[in-house]
Structure 1
Amino acid sequence: MSADKAFDLLYAEFKQVSDASLWIVDENISTQAIPAATPLICAISNRLDIAQSLQRLGWDCSFNDYLLEAWPEKHFYNIFLRIPKEKAQAHYVINQAQRLLANGGSLYLSGLKQEGIKGFIERAGTLTSAPIQTWKADKQTWAGKITFDGTSAALLDDKSYRSLRQAPSDLTFSFWSKPGIFGWDKIDKGSELLIQHLKELTAGIDHIKSVLDIGCGYGYLSLHTAKQLNTQVTATDNNAAAILACQTNLEHYQLNGSAMADNCADNIKERFSLVICNPPFHSGFGVENDLTDRFLDSAAKHLTADGLAIFVVNLHIPLERKASRYFTLCETPVVTDHFKLVRLSQPKR
C-alpha cells in the first residue's frame, strides 16, 4: 500500500488489465510504492526522475510533456490517471482519452475530495452517455470509471495545454510558457527578488564565466542572469514542459544559454562560477524536507572552488543550517517579509 490511497485505487485496477493500456504519471507519485511492471500497461511521465524510476522498475515508460497525439486513435483499452494539481493538464488527458480509447475502453480517474476529484469525474462524464461508475477508499479518496461511447464531440477547457504562449511578462521579457510548468502564468516573487539583487550580490566578482540554474522552470532566472551578467547560462529542470519553454525563451531573445532535462543537474559534470536556484520544497501534493538538501548538494558539487551560489527560499526554510553541511561560508544579506536570499561559497564537495 502506498502513502497515497488515490494511487492504490488505480493500482487495484491494474490487476484487471487484459489489453493495451496507458498509465499517465506525474509528480504526485511516491516512487517507494510503485507496483511491479505490468506488460500490457505502458506509462508516460513529464517528470524525468519519475520516468527513470519507473524504467528502473521495469516499466515501459517514456519521458515527454504528455505527447498523447503521438499514439493513433483507439490505441488503448484503458487509461489511468491520478488527477494532477494542474486542472488544464487533467482536462487535456480527458479530452485525449476520447480519441485514444477503443470502443468500450475506459478512463480511470482517482484523487482526493479536496483536490476536486468528484468534479473531474462529473465533467468527464458529460462527454459520454454511458453511465459513470464511482467508488471510494474512504470519505476523501474517490475513483471513477468513464467509458466513452462516441456520442459527444465536446471537449473540456484545457487552456490549449499543448501550446506555448507568452504568458507572464515584466519590463524586460515576455516569457513563453504553458500549463504543466509550476507557476507557468506568473512571475515568482522570490525569483524576482533574486534578480533585483543579483548585481549587488555578485559585485566585486569578475570571474563569472558560466552560470548553472538548477530548477529553471520556464527560464525567468536564466534569462535575466544571462542578460544582466552577459554570461553563458546552463538551465536544467526535470519537467519536460519547463525545458521546452526555457529553451524557447533563450532562443527567442538570442541569449547565450541552453536548457537540458536533468534531475537536480545529476548528469552535468561541469563546474560553474555561479549557481542560482529557487528550490521547490513541494513535491506533488505534499512537502518533501529533503528537496532543499538535494539542491544544496547539487550546487556544491557544481560550483568552482572560488565560485558563488545564490539561493532564494521562503523564510521558514532553514537553509542556512542545512547549507553548513555543503558550504564553508553562508550569509543572508537580504531578508523580506516572505523570502530571504542566501549567499553560499567555498563548497565542501
Structure 2
Amino acid sequence: MMRDKAFDLLYQSFNPALPNTLWFVDENLIPEHAPAAMGNTRVIANRYHIHKKLLNAGWHAEFSDFDCQDLAPGSYDQIYLRIPKEKALAHYLINTASRLLAPMGSLILSGLKQEGIKGFFDRADTAGAQTERWKLDKETWAAAITFTQPITLDDKDYTALRPAVADTSFSFISKPGVYGWNKIDQGSQLLIEHLCDIIGQSQPQSALDIGCGYGYLSLHTGKMLSIPVIATDTNAAAIECCTANATQSNVNISAVADDCARHIDSVFDLVVCNPPFHSGFGVESQLTDRFLASAAQHLTPDGQAIFVTNLHIGIEKKAADYFSIVDTPVQTNHFKLIHLRLPKKSKATVSD
C-alpha cells in the first residue's frame, strides 16, 4: 500500500505533549501507516474497520459519523484533519474544529493541491481565521489554522438526513458522505430488475447485503421477497441512512456497522452485493478476496450470492476460488451480474 503524503505531513505535527487533542479520521487513512498511539488524543472515525484497527493499536478511538454534539466548546488544544474527499464533510469538520478549539488552539489541516487544499485554507482565511502554511512538496500542503471565533463554511447541513432520490417503490433518505447518496446506482438497479429471475424457484428465507450504502438493495430485496435482511456497511453515515429508510418504509431490515460482515455470525440463503469496485480496480486486490470470502462464509450450503460489477472488472476467475458455480447471467454495455453458488467453506475466511 502506497503511503499518503498528506497524512505523512500531518503526522509531523502530532504532539504528545499537548494536554487535549482530537483527530478526525475518514476513509483516507491506512491504519497500518499511522504512528504510535498518543495517550492525549481522542480519535473519531467514521469507518468501522479503521476505528477497530486504531483501537487495536492503542488509540482512544470511537466510531460515529463525526457526532460532536456532546463535545464542549473550547475543549481541545489541537485538532488534526487530513482533508476528506467529500467537500460538505470537510466544511463541517472545519466548522466543528472552530467551535471545539480553545483560544490559540489550532486545526492542523493537510491535503493535496489536486484536492483543492489551498481553497480550504483560503476559505478559512476569508471567514476570519489565520493560517500558517507549509508544504512537503509542491503538491502536498498543510496549515495551522487559528480561529478567533466559530465559522460557518457551507457544509450543506451535513448532519441532516434528507429526501434524496426516489423510484416507483421507495423514497430514499440519504446525505452527503454516503457513496452515490443522491442517485440510484444503475448497477444496483440492474440487480433488482433481474433478482427474481436469477434466484428462480428458490425461496430464500433471509438475505445479507454487504456494503449496503443508504439501503437500495436491502429495501428492494426485503420487499420483493418478503424476507428479513441484514444490511452491513463500514460507513457510519450509510448505516444511519439505511436504518432511517428501513424505518420509514416499514421493511424488515437490520443495519449493522461492520467490516465486510466479518463479525456477523449468521448464515443466509441469499447475499446481494454491489462492491466498491470501479473501472480501474485491480482484481488482484485484497478487497476482492474479502468480499468474495465474506459472501461464501455467510451463505447456507444451498444459498446463492449475486454481485453486480462494472463490465470490465473480471472477478469471475477469483470467484471460482470461493464458489463451485460461477455464472454471468446478465450483461449490459456497462454492468454484469455474477451469480455465485455452492460456496467453498474451506476458503471462506475474511482477512484483515
Matches within 5 A, 1:319-338: 319-338=315-334
Q: Select which of 174, 177, 181 maps to 1:177.
A: 174
Q: Select which of 224, 227, 233 maps to 2:223.
A: 227
Counterpart position of 1:309: 305
Query: What is the distance in 1 between the residues matched to 2:287 and 2:201?
Result: 31
Matches within 5 A, 1:177-196: 177-196=174-193
Counterpart position of 1:65: 65
Q: CA deviation at 1:15?
A: 3.4
Which region of structure 1 is more displaced relative to structure 2, 28-37 or 327-336? 28-37
Q: CA deviation at 1:2?
A: 6.8
Counterpart position of 2:160: 163
Counterpart position of 1:121: 121
Query: What is the distance in 1 between the residues matched to 2:326 and 2:284?
Result: 23
Give the superposed CA RMSD.
1.8
Query: What is the distance in 1 between the residues matched to 2:79 and 2:15?
Result: 14
Q: CA deviation at 1:221?
A: 0.2
Q: CA deviation at 1:128?
A: 2.0
Query: What is the distance in 2 between the residues matched to 1:135 and 1:183?
Result: 34
Q: CA deviation at 1:6?
A: 0.3
Answer yes or no: is the 8 Å Cα contact 1:240–1:261 preserved in 2: yes
- Residue identity opposite 2:64 in structure 1: N
Answer yes or no: is the 8 Å Cα contact 1:107–1:146 preserved in 2: yes
For structure 2, which runs of at least 5 residues remain unmatched after alignment? Answer: 346-352
Counterpart position of 1:4: 4
Answer yes or no: is the 8 Å Cα contact 1:310–1:341 preserved in 2: yes
Q: Select which of 336, 340, 348 maps to 1:340.
A: 336
Residue 237 (str. 1) matches residue 233 (str. 2): yes
Query: What is the distance in 1 between the residues matched to 2:110 and 2:2?
Result: 14
Name the SS of the counterpart of 1:297 in structure 2.
helix
Query: What is the distance in 1 between the residues matched to 2:303 and 2:16?
Result: 55
Which region of structure 1 is more displaced relative to structure 2, 247-256 or 293-302? 247-256
Counterpart position of 2:147: 148
Residue 41 (str. 1) matches residue 41 (str. 2): yes
Q: CA deviation at 1:154?
A: 4.5
Name the SS of the counterpart of 1:344 in structure 2.
strand
Q: CA deviation at 1:286?
A: 11
Q: CA deviation at 1:328?
A: 0.1
What is the TM-score with the length of structure 1 in the denominator? Answer: 0.95
Residue 248 (str. 1) matches residue 253 (str. 2): no
Query: What is the distance in 1 between the residues matched to 2:24 and 2:335?
Result: 35
Measured against aligned partners, the alpha-carbon deviations of 1:211-257 in whole angstroms (never above 9, x if no partner) come to 00001011000000111111111101111111111011111111112
For structure 1, which runs of at least 5 residues remain unmatched after alignment? Answer: none
Answer yes or no: is the 8 Å Cα contact 2:16–2:40 preserved in 1: no
What is the TM-score with the length of structure 2 in the denominator? Answer: 0.94
Query: What is the distance in 2 between the residues matched to 1:276 and 1:5?
Result: 36
| Paired-residue identity, % | 55
Answer yes or no: is the 8 Å Cα contact 2:19–2:77 preserved in 1: yes
Q: Select which of 192, 195, 198 maps to 1:198.
A: 195
Counterpart position of 1:210: 206
